Amino acid sequence: MSKLQKRWMVSVFFTVFIWSVGAFGVYYVSHSVPNQLQEPSTILAEETVQTKETESKDLKEIIYETQKSVVKIELADGSLGSGFLFNDKGDVVTNAHVVAGVENVTVTTADSNEFSGKVIGISSDVDVAVVRVDGLKGMDPLKIRSKDLAEMGDEVLALGSPFGLEKTVTTGIISGVERDLDLEPYRYEDVYQISAPIAPGNSGGPLILQETGEVLGINSAGSDQGAIGFSIPIVNVLSLIEGWSDTPMTTLPNVVSANEKHYEEASYNTADKDMAIYLVDYFYESLNYADYVTAYALLGSNWQSDISYETFRDGYMQTKSVFIDDIVAANSGDEVGVTAFITAEETNNGLTSYSKYKVKYVVGYENDELKILSGEGEVIK
């Protein structure tokens, strides 16, 4: 074979090779790249996840936003209850037993503003009522879970004003469903059983689904037989509430007032020592949420005169959380002595340590409000 023929064959070989590579490249680009472009972008996926995380709300945020629409309801005789803003008309949902026998009530908001309210709907069979508060028109109501019922194990928040303590939150789960019970003059059917503690004054407050901040029910009764409460599913009485809101009652039915009787039959123990324990527990719960304003407000005036709010707050700035290991109370005349053994998680120069304390408080009434009048503590070694 001549050199010319060899050069020609080599040239043909490389030409065919280049054509083949080119054809393969065209095929790959036309088939594989579009398929890749149709797949989700990793960058976009990460951005979507980050956006979702940003939009999700934590527990403290849900509590803060919800409390703004929860109110304390007070009758002329001093009876107390709770309620929550249902719509932008200023309509507040509560229990019938909270406002039974009256037409006008006083409503106090979370920022301590007082308004007059008028009962525009009340049932003599179902423990539900609606109070219209003109001063709350245009305010943002709570979101209502209007379709699905809650399920066993759902995490919930119970908000209200137990013993008149506004902006109180207790946590728990749906521990039972479809419960039936009679608390004269009302019949409770298909209600939620919850583990979040409920005390006198909580009645009428909202049961909140922790995951979304939606109203699941109306907290209505409790028991001292363990941490058990009962809440009426909002979806079961929604049509009743909306009917009163659209067409207020012109004449209210004669509903028997059942505030005190209601709680006695629900097996509540409202002795002073139980109220005192509740107050001390609420004090530490407020500290754990870094709500120093509420915690300071629970102190009596004499104690507050001895320590300023700034000094009080600074004293707890290094305390991350407090756990009550044990707590007991004993009556002493008009006051109650409360002894608690606590474990405090504290930080100092970036280091975390745990310390145990024995604290003693004196709890009593001041201007008709339950207060922590004095306190002292010692380190347990």
The model's pLDDT over 193-249, given as tens digits with 9 standing for 90+, comes to: 998 877 777 889 999 998 889 999 999 887 655 567 899 999 999 999 999 999 999
pTM recorded for the entire structure:
0.59
pLDDT in tens, 171-196: 889 988 888 887 777 888 899 999 88
Between the alpha carbon of residue 179 and those of residues 151, 187, 194, 315, the distances in Å are 13, 11, 11, 46
Q: Catalytic amino acids?
A: 97, 127, 203
Sign of CA dihedral 172, 177, 178, 181: negative
Query: In degrees, to the nearest 5, what angle opens at C-alpha 65 toward C-alphas 294 and 321?
Result: 45
What is the C-alpha to C-alpha distance for residues 112 and 107, in angstroms, rounded to an integer? 9
CB 208 within 8 A of CB 155: no
- For residue 338, give the 3-state DSSP assignment: strand
What is the C-alpha to C-alpha distance for residues 2 and 8, in angstroms, rounded to an integer? 10
Residue by residue, pLDDT tens for the chain (381 residues) are 554 454 545 454 554 454 554 555 545 445 544 444 444 444 333 443 433 333 446 777 888 788 889 999 999 988 889 999 999 999 999 999 999 989 999 999 887 789 999 999 999 889 999 999 999 999 999 999 988 888 888 999 998 876 666 667 888 899 888 888 877 778 888 999 998 877 777 889 999 998 889 999 999 887 655 567 899 999 999 999 999 999 999 999 887 655 443 443 333 333 478 778 878 888 898 888 888 888 898 899 999 999 999 999 999 988 988 999 999 999 888 889 999 999 999 888 888 999 999 999 999 888 767 789 999 999 987
Q: Return the residue matching tokens 């803060």.
A: 64
Between the alpha carbon of residue 71 and those of residues 87, 146, 196, 231, 269, the distances in Å are 14, 21, 19, 17, 24
What is the C-alpha to C-alpha distance for residues 136 and 69, in angstroms, rounded to an integer? 10
Name the H helices within the chain: 3-38, 42-55, 59-67, 96-99, 234-246, 259-265, 272-288, 292-297, 301-306, 309-316
